[in-house]
Amino acid sequence: MGFLFPAFSGYPVLEKQVGASLCKTMFNLKDVFFALIMIALLVLAGRFIKQKSPWIQRLYLPESIVAGILALLLGPQVLGAIATALSGPDSILSGGLFSEPIRTVWSQSPGVFINIVFAALFLGESIPSPRDIWNKAAPQVVFGQSLAWGQYVVGLLITLLILTPLFGINPIAGCLIEVAFEGGHGTAGGMADTFATLGFEDGADLALGLATVGIVSGIVAGTALADWGRRKGHIQDLARVVDEPDEVPELTHTETRETRRQRSRLMRNMLIDPLSLNFGFVGIAIVIGWLILKGLVLLESLTWGNSGFEVMIYVPLFPMTLIGGIIVQVVMERMGLASLIIQPLMKNIAGVALDVVVVTALASISLAVLGSNLGPFILLGIAGIAWNIFAFVYLAPRLIPTHWFERGIGDMGQSMGVTATGILLLRMVDPDNRTGAFESFAYKQLFFEPIVGGGLFTAASPVLIARLGPISVLLIAAGLLAFWLIMGLFVLKRVLQQPA
């Protein structure tokens, strides 16, 4: 028997905002089961292809991206189109290898599983006080924020001056560089409903394509810059070769014997698997995030929403689940129960959910959309890459007072792909963490992720452009970019130079 499976991405009024057609999509539990089984098989196939392809290994592409591209090729847009061209529309492969119910499940999966990724992001991490975090990571916070707001400025400028006048593209395209480069595939896929609701259906496909461009160009540009840095003497010691990004050590939390003893004591009489318990904490974080979002929607409806200016009803759930995860972690620490949250299990939970997001988002991408928007796609990609490289070469030495190359290249990698890209580039230039860049990079995320890179402003940026207009959002982004540059070039530098 079929059941209603909503595209649960955080919208409080799904049928009204997303559309009745999406909300009435029917499929049964068996379809969901086999859709997930197909994802698992595709990931295994992606691993096999990567092992057999040296050029894919050199790009350090995650298996999930390889699997998503494979699913796209075996779907109706490539394999199905070829079969139709050769044998006609009645060919058994005209729809590709995957049934329509499976493709329907996949199309809705990114908006669901991205909530798990963000809810687990800080669960299991030891969260120091804001003052301690700021003292250790302030220069990288400034540089990371400058990169992100600069992406908005560059994207909105190129959209206002070129893309909209010449190609007629929706002005919301001005946020795509930040959504795709800083947010990555997960954020791009998770925001598909937001773009569709605002009338920019092509936005999700363009963002996913740009995210792929970002992660590849991040690895290529980062490797080239690392070689340049060694030749110029910016890196003091020759770094050893990185074989796999999975070898990167943990950044922020290491389990102690005391933590293990405390966990054993707390779980002594619990008849529950630790994985199930930790998934329960993720569920609590998502519920808290949902309550926060509902509260903000209610507040908006009682205040400025009365004038017709509505923002929060379009904001997806996932940035709120990140806040929910931080709240759960802090509460568990205050109660002395933080040892029940097992960081490796949280990373596994988030990792599986992210694999699902990436595979299904890439499998659902529309090649026709990319083809019809090829000019804007290429221009946005070039502009985003150029800004990130310029910011690293010119701004990083001026904003980061010590070990600017090692500490800055991690932020550049993250701003062009995902956090793992940043860590990989960090390890290329500082494999033994002699500069302390790993800790600073990790602590920076607490001042970074809740706002940009998939945070609140990333999620709200398409809505703000649609409601306030691209010029207003450009002025906001330019003002924040100026604020962070002034903070790094003058205020922070003066504070750091003062004797302790």
Rounded mean pLDDT, 485-498: 71
Looking at every residue in the chain, the average pLDDT score rounds to: 81
Cβ 205 vs Cβ 369: under 8 Å: yes
* Cβ atoms within 10 Å of 265's Cβ, excluding its own: 10
Quote the CA–CA distance of 281 and 290 in Å, as a whole number.
Answer: 14
The alpha carbon of residue 205 and the mean position of all alpha carbons in its chain are separated, in whole angstroms, by 15
Question: If pLDDT is split at 50, 70 and 90, which confidence band does 496 have?
Answer: low
- Write down the pLDDT at residue 22: 42
Burial class (CB in 10 A: 0-12, 13-18, 19+), 256: exposed
Least confident of 50-54, 160-164, 167-171: 50-54
Write down the pLDDT at residue 495: 53
- Domains of the chain, by residue range, sit at 3-108, 118-497
Confidence at 256, pLDDT banded by 50, 70, 90: low
- What pLDDT, on a 0 to 100 scale, did the predictor assign at position 360? 87
Planar angle of CA 231, 233, 235, nearest 5 degrees: 100
pLDDT band at residue 3, thresholds of 50, 70 and 90?
very low
| pTM, rounded to two decimals | 0.75
pLDDT reading at 224 higher than 90: no
Per-residue model confidence (pLDDT) at position 132: 72
Kindly tell me if the per-residue pLDDT of 246 is higher than 60: no
pLDDT at residue 270 in the model: 65
Q: Which residues contact 417 (CB under 8 A, 6 or more apart)?
A: 181, 184, 211, 214, 215, 218, 219
186: Cα separation from own chain's centroid: 5
Percent of the chain surpassing pLDDT 90: 26
Taking only the tens place, the pLDDT of each residue in 468-482 is: 999 999 999 999 999
Q: Tens of pLDDT along 302-360?
A: 887 777 667 777 777 877 888 899 899 989 888 888 888 888 888 889 888 888 888 88
- Per the document, the length of the chain is 500
Whether 90 has a pLDDT exceeding 80, the answer reads no
- Distance, CA of 91 to CA of 103 (rounded, Å): 18
Predicted pLDDT of residue 269: 64
